[in-house]
């Protein structure tokens, strides 16, 4: 097979399910059309189900050595597509051509017998996957070493912990030397040390020339490993193209529910420029209509409401996917419903574990508003944050508060606890949205700007004192 010949060729793929309200309708659908055909009335046969299309009009190709990401919201059709490509599910429409041995890391351990030992399951599973006895013997030691379960390899699988079980299952699938590898969130199994081994193995698989299909909700993985990516939404292919652009569109889709064209769009397109906010020193406060916050949970004392908010990059383009160290601009708009003192606003960032990695308001910045704010006033806040944080996904909360002017003016004489107690929280959006931080475009190799959660300001110097 030529290296340019696709190993996966999907054309006009569709998958339909018939949804029945109850078992009785299913029975009617089975019997009534046949009876109608016998009496010559098949043209007016009633239908007792509704159609649900899990996938519609999906077309793409994957060539040897290419890594294709498949992303989308829950229910978008990702797992259905992978099952069809793996051969465990038949399509309703279209053509699917898959050439070569497929290793599908979907339901890890689904072929394992709980009463067999780990060793027996490795041998059995490898034979099911099409490996010869010679190939199994050549790979066995490597599989066992990768799983790292020690003497438990000779114990029944039903005695394994869940972590041991998935490690062994992953090890088998990842070492069968397939020409096509399908991974559905399987890189997230095990502890951090095993995940590191999984990522290293993925790099080896890619380097071997195998085609890889990677499904993940971690956009940093999609950006790092994938050449291209498909964005699925409600069973339709909304975008196929550059992985970084696909990640950006995923976050836009996740936050706004908007749909996007299937045609890759240049980042400098007129549409994007039209929606960009003036986040500079000009009239940023009136330059753009913010997306509504109507459907976002808001908590507070009822003295204010959030009308809208958005996140931009430092060029004023709406953005939810940033490079490490890039500046994010948070813009929010509130309506004050009752007379208050001075307004305060702020942003809090949480990492994937829910830990606050950054929280800062206008109080910490020492920025105040007019002495007092009347009911009915619209307050728009802009806050910039340099995202010198660990790669990954973050959620953010935004909020509006109030503080009495006399307390603000003498903050230097007060403790932090006293100031914090003096702030009234008017309106807070605890789960306003999410953003991700990926590799900086100018990084060298796999170098990071720092280790750990945050990049703290500092410097390093060398000196060479004379030998004493």
- Pairwise pLDDT comparison (249 vs 444), residue with the higher score: 249
CA distance 155 to 123: 14
The residue-averaged pLDDT of 30-55 equals 78
Could you report the per-residue pLDDT of 113-146, keeping only the tens digit for each? 889 999 898 888 888 777 788 888 888 888 888 8
| DSSP per residue, 239-273 | EEEEHHHHHHHHHHHHHH-----SS---TT-HHHH
Q: Which pLDDT value is given to residue 422?
A: 85
Q: Which pLDDT value is given to residue 107?
A: 64
3-state secondary structure of 302: coil
User: Which residues fall within 8 angstroms of residue 367, CB to CB, at 6 or more apart?
Assistant: none
| Exposure class string for 52-71: b at 16+ Cβ within 10 A, else e | ebbbbebebebbbebbbbbb
Reply yes or no on whether the pLDDT at 81 is more than 50: yes
The residue-averaged pLDDT of 151-167 equals 88
Provide the pLDDT confidence category of residue 167 given band limits of 50, 70 and 90.
confident
Of 323, 327, 313, 358, residue with least CA distance to 448: 323
Of 174, 214, 209, residue with least CA distance to 194: 174
Reply yes or no on whether the pLDDT at 214 is more than 80: yes
Q: Which pLDDT value is given to residue 95?
A: 93
The residue-averaged pLDDT of 375-386 equals 94
Q: Lowest mean pLDDT: which of 186-190, 207-211, 398-402?
A: 186-190
Query: In the predicted model, what is the mean pLDDT of the chain?
Result: 82
Q: Lowest mean pLDDT: which of 76-90, 145-159, 286-300?
A: 286-300
CA distance 431 to 141: 47
Reply yes or no on whether the pLDDT at 386 is more than 80: yes
Q: Which pLDDT value is given to residue 241?
A: 92
The residue-averaged pLDDT of 330-347 equals 94
Q: Is the pTM of this model over 0.75?
A: no
The residue-averaged pLDDT of 22-26 equals 85
Highest mean pLDDT among 33-37, 104-108, 384-388, 447-451: 384-388
Asked whether the beta carbons of 168 and 122 are under 8 A apart, the reply is yes
The residue-averaged pLDDT of 196-201 equals 79
Size of the chain, expressed as the number of residues it contains = 468
Reply yes or no on whether the pLDDT at 276 is more than 60: no
- Pairwise pLDDT comparison (334 vs 201), residue with the higher score: 334
Q: Domains (ranges, CATH) in the chain?
A: 8-256 (3.40.50.300), 276-438 (2.70.50.60)
Provide the pLDDT confidence category of residue 101 given band limits of 50, 70 and 90.
confident
Which uninterrupted H or E stretch holds 398?
strand 392-403
Provide the pLDDT confidence category of residue 335 given band limits of 50, 70 and 90.
very high
Say how many CA atoms lie within 13 Å of 54 toward its Cβ.
19
Q: What is the CA radius of gyration of the chain?
A: 28
Work out the burial of residue 85: count CB atoms within 10 Å of its CB; fewer than 13 is exposed, 13-18 middle, 19 or more buried.
buried
- Pairwise pLDDT comparison (381 vs 278), residue with the higher score: 381
Reply yes or no on whether the pLDDT at 263 is more than 50: no
3-state secondary structure of 327: strand
Q: Which pLDDT value is given to residue 283?
A: 41
- Pairwise pLDDT comparison (1 vs 94), residue with the higher score: 94
Which uninterrupted H or E stretch holds 19?
strand 8-19
CA 172 vs CA 129, 139, 157: distances in Å:
9, 9, 14
Q: Which pLDDT value is given to residue 426?
A: 93
- Pairwise pLDDT comparison (258 vs 403), residue with the higher score: 403
Q: What percent of the chain has pLDDT over 70?
A: 85
Reply yes or no on whether the pLDDT at 260 is more than 50: no
């Amino acid at each position: 097979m030529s290296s340019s010949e696709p190993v996966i060729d999907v054309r006009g793929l569709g998958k339909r399910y018939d949804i029945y309200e109850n078992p009785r309708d299913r029975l009617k659908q089975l019997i009534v059309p046949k009876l109608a055909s016998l009496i010559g009335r098949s043209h007016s046969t009633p239908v007792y189900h509704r159609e649900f299309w899990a996938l519609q009009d999906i077309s793409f190709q994957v060539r040897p050595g290419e890594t294709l990401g498949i992303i989308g919201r829950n229910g978008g059709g990702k797992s259905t597509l992978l099952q069809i490509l793996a051969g465990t599910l038949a399509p309703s429409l279209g053509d699917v051509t898959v050439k070569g041995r497929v290793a599908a890391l979907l339901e890890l351990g689904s072929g394992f017998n709980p009463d067999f030992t780990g060793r027996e399951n490795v041998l059995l599973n490898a034979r099911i996957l099409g490996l010869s006895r010679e190939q199994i013997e050549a790979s066995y030691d490597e599989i066992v070493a990768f799983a790292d379960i020690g003497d438990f390899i000779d114990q029944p699988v039903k005695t394994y912990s869940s972590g041991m079980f998935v490690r062994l299952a992953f090890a088998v699938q990842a070492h069968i030397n397939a020409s096509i590898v399908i991974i559905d969130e399987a890189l997230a199994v095990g502890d951090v040390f095993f995940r590191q081994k999984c990522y290293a193995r993925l790099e080896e698989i890619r380097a071997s020339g195998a085609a890889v299909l990677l499904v993940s909700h971690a956009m940093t993985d999609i950006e790092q490993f994938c050449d291209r990516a498909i964005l699925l939404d409600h069973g339709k292919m909304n975008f196929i193209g550059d992985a970084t652009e696909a990640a950006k569109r995923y976050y836009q889709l996740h936050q706004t529910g908007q749909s996007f064209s299937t045609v890759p769009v240049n980042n400098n397109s007129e549409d994007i420029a039209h929606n960009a906010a003036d986040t500079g020193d000009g009239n940023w406060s009136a330059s753009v209509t913010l997306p509504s916050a109507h459907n976002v949970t808001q908590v507070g004392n009822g003295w204010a409401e959030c009308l809208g908010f958005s996140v931009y990059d430092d060029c004023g383009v709406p953005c939810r996917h940033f490079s490490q160290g890039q500046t994010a601009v948070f813009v929010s708009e509130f309506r004050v419903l009752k007379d208050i003192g001075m307004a305060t606003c702020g942003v809090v960032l949480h990492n994937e574990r829910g830990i606050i990695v950054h929280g800062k308001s206008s109080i910490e910045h020492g920025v105040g508003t007019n002495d007092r704010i009347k009911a009915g006033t619209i307050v728009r806040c802009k806050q910039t944050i340099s995202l010198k944080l660990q790669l990954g996904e973050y959620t953010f909360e935004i909020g509006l508060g109030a503080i009495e002017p006399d307390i603000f003016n003498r903050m230097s004489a007060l403790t932090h606890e006293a100031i914090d107690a003096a702030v009234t929280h008017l309106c807070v959006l605890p789960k306003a949205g999410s953003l991700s931080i990926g590799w900086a475009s100018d990084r060298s190799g796999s170098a990071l700007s720092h280790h750990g959660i945050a990049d703290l300001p500092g410097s390093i110097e060398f000196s060479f004192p004379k030998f004493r």
